[in-house]
Amino acid sequence: MKISRSDVHTKVRALPEIRAEEQQLTAVAGLFIFQPLFERLGLKGLLKGCFEHLTTAPIFGHGTIVMLLIVHILMGHRRLQEIQYYEDDPVVKRLLQLKRLPDVSTVSRTLKQLDDRAVAAERTVIRTVVGNRMKELSPARVMFDFDGSVNGTNRKAEGTAVGFNKKKKGQRSYYPLYCTWAQTGQVFDFCHRPGNVHDSNGASLDYSQR
């Protein structure tokens, strides 16, 4: 079934009024506090700019799909199939300014369209957002912490390998390298490294010129 953009997107201008009452709230009601944050950061526009070079223009938009993944992770989910748990939640739809959420196959197809240039642009957005925060706080000293991570998976996906995993020995995992702003713990940049690699692999990035 084909759907139009007007059937998917909507506009949200005002924040909802939050009242403390004795009633059960939706499990993701706390997402309301992220709406003004996303607006202040201009996150939707920043993400949209990452994919302007792509020739395809899906109904939901590449930036919207990435926003969905951000919200997905904020709610504690890791697998795309878990979208079904909140696909009808009005709070999530409002935050993403959508009338309906994409299904798992739509998200997968959209992510498959992203290229290296799009990923590089997203990394630039991360550095821009964190860099702007640094300017606001104006710390006397900025410290970066490079640390490798182990993200386990039960799938034999491309780029995974069996290596050191103290929680689940023998499990296939990703081994990304993160650069975080030590004072706040915010991720400044990351490097995806296929295979089982040492923490120092890929750490020779020169941020003094950025």
pLDDT of residue 108: 92
* Rounded Cα distance, 83 and 90, in Å: 13
Cβ–Cβ under 8 Å, residues 139 and 183: yes
- Same domain for 108 and 149, yes or no, is no
Arithmetic mean of pLDDT over the chain: 82
- Same domain for 106 and 151, yes or no, is no
Domain total of the chain: 2
- Same domain for 106 and 16, yes or no, is yes
* Ramachandran assignment for 181, one of left (phi > 0), alpha (psi -120 to 50 degrees), beta (any other): beta
Instruction: Please report whether residue 118 resides in a domain.
Output: no
Cβ–Cβ under 8 Å, residues 8 and 100: yes
Instruction: Please report whether residue 37 resides in a domain.
Output: yes
Residue pLDDT, tens place only, 152-175: 777 777 667 777 667 777 777 878
pLDDT of residue 149: 81
Is 186 a residue whose pLDDT tops 70?
yes
Tell me the average pLDDT across 174-190: 88
Instruction: Please report whether residue 105 resides in a domain.
Output: yes
* Rounded Cα distance, 103 and 207, in Å: 38
Residue pLDDT, tens place only, 32-83: 888 889 999 999 999 999 999 998 878 889 999 999 999 999 998 988 999 9
- Same domain for 95 and 45, yes or no, is yes
Listed residues 112, 129, 158: the one ending a domain = 112
Listed residues 90, 112, 134: the one ending a domain = 112
Length of the chain: 210
Instruction: Please report whether residue 55 resides in a domain.
Output: yes
Instruction: Please report whether residue 146 resides in a domain.
Output: yes
* Rounded Cα distance, 1 and 88, in Å: 19
Instruction: Please report whether residue 24 resides in a domain.
Output: yes
- Same domain for 148 and 95, yes or no, is no
- Same domain for 13 and 91, yes or no, is yes
* Rounded Cα distance, 132 and 140, in Å: 15
pLDDT exceeding 70 applies to what percent of the chain?
78
Instruction: Please report whether residue 132 resides in a domain.
Output: no
Cβ–Cβ under 8 Å, residues 67 and 98: no
Cβ–Cβ under 8 Å, residues 127 and 209: no
For CA atoms 132, 134, 137, 140, the dihedral sign is: negative
Boundaries of domain holding 148 = 142-205
Instruction: Please report whether residue 45 resides in a domain.
Output: yes
